[in-house]
Amino acid sequence: MGFSPPAYAIPSGYKWLYTISPMKFPLSVMVALVFADCDELPTWNETTQMYENVGSNLGCQPMANSPADVGHITVKEYTEEYFGMEHDTIARNFGVVIGCIVVFRILGLLALRFVNHQKR
């Protein structure tokens, strides 16, 4: 599975660990900005076996060489379905990143203020 397995492949006992991991949020913001940005998804035409109305964004492009069980899917749909990184959650994830930075800075400040190992 590797270092960063897809969200759907994580065993149910470890979902909480995936949810509280601080690295999940900035990674989700970066991936969603690049791969899940598509205003209007293209439609699959069964008669021509091609996508219609394909946009210029990377998220609007059809997946090339995708597994047979996935079928016809765009990059945005693949990113949201298999990795759980949606473009709609960018603001929330960015807020969590800023919140983590503030909390860790306050904890560091409190530790520097009250933890003293000098003997007088």
Looking at the structure of the chain, the number of domains it has is 1
Is 119 within a domain?
no
- Residue-averaged pLDDT of the chain: 87
- Residue whose pair of structure tokens reads 């035409």 in the numeric block: 45
Q: Which domain covers residue 21, as residue numbers?
A: 7-114
Q: Are 83 and 7 in contact (CB under 8 A)?
A: yes
Q: Write down the pLDDT at residue 98.
A: 97
Is 71 within a domain?
yes
Asked if residue 42 has pLDDT above 90, the reply is: no
CA distance 89 to 96: 11
Q: Write down the pLDDT at residue 2.
A: 56
Taking the whole predicted model, whether its pTM rises above 0.85 is answered as no
Is 1 within a domain?
no
Taking alpha carbons only, the member of 80, 83, 38, 78 closest to residue 59 is 38
Asked if residue 1 has pLDDT above 60, the reply is: no
Lookup: tokens for 41: 């998804």
Is 72 within a domain?
yes
Between 23 and 1, the higher pLDDT residue: 23
Is 120 within a domain?
no
**Kind and range of the H or E element at 118?**
none
